Amino acid sequence: MMKWSFIILWLAAPGCQQPEKNQPSAVNEKIALMKTDQAFSEMSVAKGMKQAFIEYIDSNGVLLKPGHLPIVGANAIDFLIQQNDTGYTLNWQPQNAFVSQSADLGYTYGVFALQPTTIDTIIYGTYVSIWKKQGDGKWKFVLESGNEGIDSTDSEY
């Protein structure tokens, strides 16, 4: 009787169960998230920062911007719509990503480059984006923040 009790407890323990065969692996999702962040940057260059951010923000996404309280959800989308992105190009390079074991949340971070069209200079900074996997399998960011001011000689960009 003791042997059967042990087996039943062992099978019921969450850490002892086998993962589902169709469950996405965190490693594969990390690669997918890095590719998503890179595609996000490429869209920013090709179609403008505004369109890219509107495409990749979750409906409840949060923007953390200097001089602003957190800008959330519909207010974040309205904030993006009001931006004039014709005077610069914004691109970035994700340097790493982390994805939760459940493969539905993750973050990326890296270095960005903001290049105004009217002057011959590049402003570098760092960023972090927190991402949530959507019901359709796509990643959308739920929080984005960046800060300017890294020395371009320190940049691996």
> What residues contact 82, with CB distance under 8 A and at least 6 apart?
none
Centroid of chain to Cα 116: 24
Model confidence, pTM: 0.81
Give, for all 157 residues of the chain, the pLDDT tens digit: 444 333 333 334 444 444 445 556 888 999 999 999 999 999 999 999 999 999 999 999 999 998 999 999 999 999 999 999 999 999 999 999 999 999 999 999 999 999 999 999 999 999 999 999 999 999 999 999 999 987 655 545 4
Domain ranges, ordered by start, for the chain: 24-148
State how far the Cα of 146 lies from the Cα of 39, in Å rounded to an integer. Answer: 18
Which contiguous run of DSSP H or E holds residue 114? strand 105-116
* Among the listed residues 137, 145, 146, 157, the one whose alpha carbon sits nearest the alpha carbon of residue 33: 137
CATH class of 24-148: alpha beta
